[in-house]
Amino acid sequence: MTVTASPLDDTSYNVLDATTATKTDTPIMETPFGIQVVPQQVLKDQQVVRFNKALQNVSGVYFVPNSVGDNASILRGFQTGEYYLDGVRQLPPSHQTGFREIANIEQIEVLKGPASILYGRLEPGGLINLTSKQPLSTPYYALEQQFGSFDFYRTTLDATGPLMKDNTLGYRLNLAYENAGDFRDVVGEGHRVFLAPVLRWTPSEQTQVNVYMECLHSRIHSNVAYRPWATLWHRCRAKRISESLRGWRILGPGGLSRLQCSLDPAPALRR
């Protein structure tokens, strides 16, 4: 009997190069910035499905949950909702359709410290840059099914390969479908459908054209307690103490998504 063994590939967790700090493929040890990378292997091993869960691997990054299921990130004490995708600034997820989908993300790079000289207006705490999955020259196909608590189901598809024999044209397709319940009975189910195709054309060694598209249909759970706030508002009006509400404003669609107000210590409220 012959037993053979081969060393593990230590490059799956140990990322040597990053592009966020210099916008070039530069070794991290030669970069005069603090950079921490969450590689694809970590995302797979931890079965990460949320953007904020992936960044729990990064020191100095914290999150503040809000009412739309998104999380504002705090880097070195400075809060920011924006992030970057392949070096291009994106709107915060709260201005889009909830949390950021990571089905088409290869790795996450976090630059710690000021970087406005490269990226313009930016909080001094740092920035988060997502690196998307790119077409490969060899065919690759992956289908994954995940199950979780509260009727959580998630299916992802990753397919890539060349479209021409000379590898001048390639593609990559990432698809994700998610359906999940909630620990609260009054919330209901939420679902997401995400599609992200990429087409790459390489006419020469010096020229490369990439065409990206992301399509997301999402119905997410809101963390707002609709009924208690609505009940409080109606009670305030019924008892004719609306004049004791100072600085109130209604946020969100429908007029009763959230009520922000300050209450005077009136006897009617204490009752």
Q: Using H for helix, E for strand and C for coil, what is the string for the chain?
A: CCCCCCCCCCCCCCCCEECCCCCCCEEHHHCCCEEEEECHHHHHHCCCCCHHHHHHHCCCEEEEECCCCCEEEEECCEEECCEEECCEEECCHHHCCCCCCCCCEEEEEEEECCCHHHHCCCCCCEEEEEEECCCCCCCEEEEEEEEECCCEEEEEEEEEEECCCCCCEEEEEEEEEEEECCCCCCCCCEEEEEEEEEEEEEEECCEEEEEECCEEEEECCCCCCHHHHHHHHHHHHHCCCHHHEEEEEEECCCCCCEEEEEECCCHHHHC
Residues of the chain with pLDDT under 50: 224-271
Amino acid letter, residue 153? Y
- pLDDT given for residue 94 in this prediction: 56
- pLDDT given for residue 6 in this prediction: 60
**The CATH number of domain 17-132 is 2.170.130.10:** yes
Domain boundaries, the chain: 17-132, 140-219, 226-270
Question: pTM for this one?
Answer: 0.71
- pLDDT given for residue 93 in this prediction: 57
pLDDT, tens digit, 9 for 90 and up, residues 131-189: 999 999 999 999 999 998 888 899 999 999 999 988 899 999 999 999 888 777 766 66
- pLDDT given for residue 201 in this prediction: 94
- pLDDT given for residue 198 in this prediction: 95
- pLDDT given for residue 174 in this prediction: 96
CB distance 247 to 262 below 8 Å:
yes
CA distance 132 to 86: 7
Please name the residues in contact with 216: beta carbons below 8 A apart, sequence gap of 6 or more: 96, 97, 101, 192, 193, 194, 195
